[in-house]
Amino acid sequence: MARTNPAHRRITLHDVAQFCGVSYQTVSRVVNNNPHVSKETRRRVLRAIKELNYQPNHVARSLVTRRSNLLEVITFGSNHYGPSQMVAHVEQAARQQGYNLILTNISHMSLDEIRAAINSLSGRLVDGLIMITPVKGVEYDELADLCDGIPFVMIDTQLGSTTPSVVINQWYGSQLATQHLIDLGHRAICEISGPLNWHGAVARHESWRATLAAAGISPGQSAEGDWTAVGGYQAAVRLIESRAHFTALVAGNDQMALGAMRALREAGLRVPQDVSVVGFDDIPEAVCFEPPLTTIRQDFDLLGSQSVEYLLDLMKRPDTPLQQRVLYPTLIERQSTLPLS
């Protein structure tokens, strides 16, 4: 097998060129599939490349082409199911398109943190940027300013904004959930929302209210959770202790639904006989909850590939219109909801 040189100096274009008696430019042409090279020469060069185990130096190439084949994703809250799914699928899509991905997870969503993340990359020449910004406090203009010309798209940002972004319509999802309960005859419908500094949490929360209002129903109580099961448990406990009467519960995500169901059970309430519960996300475990959870499914796979696709468009044709692309979630009915008896 072709082993590398012991001196541990990387093989360069020049080495290959010398090896088969052509100029480095010719080798470069072969490497880049330039048609202006004779069949015979190409064959010889190709063999030399293999023989010497030549690997083009991306760094040198980037220096002159000003492109790196590198995308960056800046994410917040990637310990939560949604963001982590987004990252995973973005990575997959990027790799399919021949790009590598730099991952930066920031722990406090502030402009300063984002600035730091971008700056730490700024000299690094990433070709494009995907930002997963599920919480409030970051405006498009500031970001555009920060990125200074490098194309970017946002994921999971505010619905209805005109920034280049791909989002799942959370409003619609929560409407599906709430309407489902209304259709089952429920009228006393409480909510456990996500943290209200998250766009998605606000959208789901307001849609819950609006959907009830549209049906002429006054909303039940709402308690704010933190996306975790424990947070959902505590929120449900607060709801129960406030002596609110309700026959149905909309949870901001599946984990909180899990915690809520635990709290309900501890309070002697049966799900779904006494209280119907619907979650959000359709995490893989939801089908095995006790009882299996009715929930809203989001297509994170599509979200990832759409974002990367959009970003690549933006990179290739800077005149690509800036828009928000919107995906729609679906309702998954299981056994945690029941018609009001």
With a CB cutoff of 8 Å and minimum separation 6, the contacts of 216 are none
The interface region with DNA, picked from 31-39, 179-187, 264-272, 310-318 by CB under 7 A, is 31-39
Q: Based on the shown chain and the rule CB under 7 A, indicate whether residue 18 belongs to the binding site for DNA.
A: no
Q: Based on the shown chain and the rule CB under 8 A, indicate whether residue 31 belongs to the binding site for a copy of itself.
A: no
Binding to a copy of itself in span 86-105, by CB under 8 A: 87-88, 91-92, 95, 100-105
CB 250 within 8 A of CB 174: yes
Q: Which does 18 bind (CB under 5 to 8 A by kind): a copy of itself, DNA, none?
A: none
CB 152 within 8 A of CB 164: yes
Name which position in 1, 7, 8, 9 contacts DNA (CB under 7 A). Answer: 9
Smallest distance from DNA to CB 318, Å: 18
Q: Which does 38 bind (CB under 5 to 8 A by kind): a copy of itself, DNA, none?
A: DNA
Binding mask 41-70 for DNA (x = CB under 7 A): xx-----------xxxx--xx-xxx-----
Q: Based on the shown chain and the rule CB under 7 A, indicate whether residue 36 belongs to the binding site for DNA.
A: yes
Of 333, 253, 268, 248, residue with least CA distance to 294 = 333
Of 256, 255, 296, 294, residue with least CA distance to 277 = 294
Strand order in the sheet with 248-251: 222-224, 189-193, 248-251, 276-278
Smallest distance from DNA to CB 51, Å: 15
d(CA 208, CA 278): 12
d(CA 315, CA 204): 33
Q: Which does 23 bind (CB under 5 to 8 A by kind): a copy of itself, DNA, none?
A: DNA
- 208 residue type, one letter: W
With a CB cutoff of 8 Å and minimum separation 6, the contacts of 197 are 135, 136, 137
Tokens found for residue 67: 């492109």
Q: Based on the shown chain and the rule CB under 7 A, indicate whether residue 120 belongs to the binding site for DNA.
A: no
Name which position in 26, 68, 253, 294 contacts a copy of itself (CB under 8 A). Answer: 68
Residues near a copy of itself, by CB under 8 A? 4, 8, 55-63, 68, 70, 78-79, 84, 87-88, 91-92, 95, 100-105, 107, 119-125, 148-149, 228-230, 232-233, 255, 258-259, 261-262, 265, 284-285, 287-290, 292
Residues near DNA, by CB under 7 A? 9-10, 12-14, 21-26, 28-29, 31-32, 35-42, 54-57, 60-61, 63-65, 123
